[in-house]
């Protein structure tokens, strides 16, 4: 299978299939369907590389990112998404949110 991420970020490839997701709905859904341990593992792998990833992406035209760079950006969006269960909640959902939803229906691309 061909790589999803730029080769400089090959170490993050094991997380790419699950977390390179283009929409908030997919990222939030994957968060709710994951365990805190799974998200902690992803968070621990991606956070130390995040500054380098942003610097890499800054070197490319933002309005014409190649596919692998767009995947890397989506991986960073997922990092932000999982940071709440990992840094704050220690569970996938916002506590007491019961059946509440708050669906994202429009978001900027990329």
For 104, phi then psi, to 5°, come to -85, 120
Cα torsion angle, 40, 20, 102, 80, sign = positive
Encoding tokens for residue 54? 């942003």
- Is there binding between residue 32 and another protein (CB under 8 A)? no
Which range of residues in 7-15, 33-41, 89-97 is near another protein by CB under 8 A? 89-97
Of residues 8, 29, 87, 91, which one binds another protein by CB under 8 A?
Answer: 87
Q: How far is the CB of 16 from another protein (least distance, A)?
A: 18
- Is there binding between residue 102 and another protein (CB under 8 A)? yes
Give 56-68 as a DSSP string: HHHTS-GGG--HH
- Is there binding between residue 51 and another protein (CB under 8 A)? yes
């Amino acid at each position: 299978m061909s790589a999803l991420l730029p080769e400089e970020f090959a170490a993050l490839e094991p997380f790419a299939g699950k977390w390179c997701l283009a929409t908030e709905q997919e990222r939030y859904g994957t968060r709710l369907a994951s365990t805190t341990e799974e998200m902690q593992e992803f968070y621990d792998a991606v956070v130390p590389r995040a500054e380098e990833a942003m610097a890499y992406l800054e070197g490319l035209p933002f309005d014409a990112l190649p596919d692998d760079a767009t995947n890397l950006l989506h991986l960073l969006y997922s990092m932000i998404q999982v940071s709440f269960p990992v840094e704050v909640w220690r569970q996938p959902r916002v506590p007491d949110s019961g059946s509440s939803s708050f669906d994202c229906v429009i978001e900027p691309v990329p």
